[in-house]
């Protein structure tokens, strides 16, 4: 089967590609290799993927409409995993147009390509950020997501609405995945856990926001990939509307989270234990666009695909620290 992964040099894209390549799928990957974070890390991920003969990579930005159109004209994809996006809550405050270009215009280009050459299943990355200012926990997919607190979150909510419209109009089986704080080996250097480990390794202090009074549903990357693969095998079916607000489109949204939020200071303790060093913490107030807690309700995930993440924080952090140490020693 032919599979397209956009953002293949990114953290989740790389991890998913490794899994699918090892299972024998013909994987086509695109990425613009932008400099939002260390490009050498993205290239190193690609180097590992290119050891597989069943990988084809092209440097394409999802904003390049003609190149996207030509790619879909040349190859009929069975599955499309759209993971390319401009990430980061805080970066969206400083660089809003990057989010309009990649997360809105780029997303529309992929939707149009899928309209003209429909895959068996279109799966795209949403985010737990869509829950915004919601106070009810755990966050359920049935909750209102009308109050985003960052532009990044607003673009992800827009993606869900756009994808639903295309699924409804063109009967494209579509699933959106609301990821909750994904971490692990080969992760993103802009994420807090990566910054903490890097700072401790170089005897620098770490900045702890909201004075450490935050909780995150940290989700290990292998659990995320397992969830994606299982969901891909279950494209949503057309169902009759049961309420005035429900949809009969072949469209579904899932939370992909650990269902076990962890206090930020507890998470830092796990890092200290894995590294055998103490962190020098500088306490700071909450940053704009941030939220106090994320917590995924994954009952639908359990019910529909019989899956829930299982990696503990201690195991996940230990594996990340082991990778970090080997990778940066190699450099």
**DSSP annotation of 105:** I
Is 166 an active-site residue?
A: no
3-state secondary structure of 63: coil
Residues counted in the chain: 331
3-state secondary structure of 317: helix
The one catalytic residue among 152, 193, 220, 254: 152
- Rg for the chain, CA atoms, rounded: 19
The two three-digit tokens of residue 65, written as one number: 């409409």
For the beta carbon of residue 265, count every other beta carbon within 10 angstroms: 14
Angle, alpha carbons 57-63-64 (nearest 5°)? 65
Distance CA 53, CA 270 (A): 38
Asked if 2 and 56 touch (Cβ cutoff 8 Å), the reply is no
Comparing CA positions, the residue from 67, 64, 46, 87 lying closest to residue 194 is 87
Please list the active-site residues: 152
């Amino acid at each position: 089967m032919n599979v397209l992964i956009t953002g293949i040099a990114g953290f989740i894209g790389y991890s998913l590609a490794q899994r699918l390549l090892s299972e024998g799928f013909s994987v086509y990957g695109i990425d613009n290799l932008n400099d939002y974070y260390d490009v050498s890390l993205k290239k190193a991920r690609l180097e590992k993927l290119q050891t597989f003969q069943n990988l084809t990579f092209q440097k394409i930005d999802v904003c390049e409409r003609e190149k996207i159109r030509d790619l879909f004209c040349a190859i009929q994809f069975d599955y499309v995993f759209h993971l390319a996006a401009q990430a980061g809550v805080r970066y969206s405050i400083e660089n809003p147009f990057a989010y309009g270009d990649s997360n809105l215009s780029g997303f529309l280009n992929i939707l149009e390509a899928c309209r003209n050459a429909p895959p068996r299943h279109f799966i795209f990355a949403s985010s737990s950020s869509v829950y915004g200012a919601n106070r009810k926990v755990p966050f359920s997919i049935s909750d209102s997501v009308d109050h985003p607190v960052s532009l990044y979150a607003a673009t992800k909510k827009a993606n869900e609405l756009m994808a639903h419209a295309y699924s409804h109009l063109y009967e494209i089986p579509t699933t959106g995945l609301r990821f909750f704080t994904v971490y692990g080996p080969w992760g993103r250097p802009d994420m807090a856990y990566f910054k903490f480990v890097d700072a401790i390794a170089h005897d620098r202090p770490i900045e702890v926001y909201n004075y450490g009074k935050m909780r995150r549903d940290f989700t290990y990357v292998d659990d995320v990939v397992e969830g994606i693969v299982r969901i891909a095998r279950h494209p949503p079916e057309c169902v009759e509307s049961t309420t005035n607000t429900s949809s009969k489109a072949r469209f579904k949204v899932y939370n992909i989270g650990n269902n076990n939020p962890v206090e930020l200071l507890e998470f830092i303790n796990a890092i200290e234990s894995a590294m055998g060093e103490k962190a020098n913490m500088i306490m700071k107030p909450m940053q704009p666009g941030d939220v106090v807690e994320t917590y995924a309700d994954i009952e639908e995930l359990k019910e529909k695909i019989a899956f829930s993440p299982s990696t503990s924080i201690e195991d996940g952090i230990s594996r990340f620290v082991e990778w970090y140490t080997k990778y940066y020693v190699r450099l």
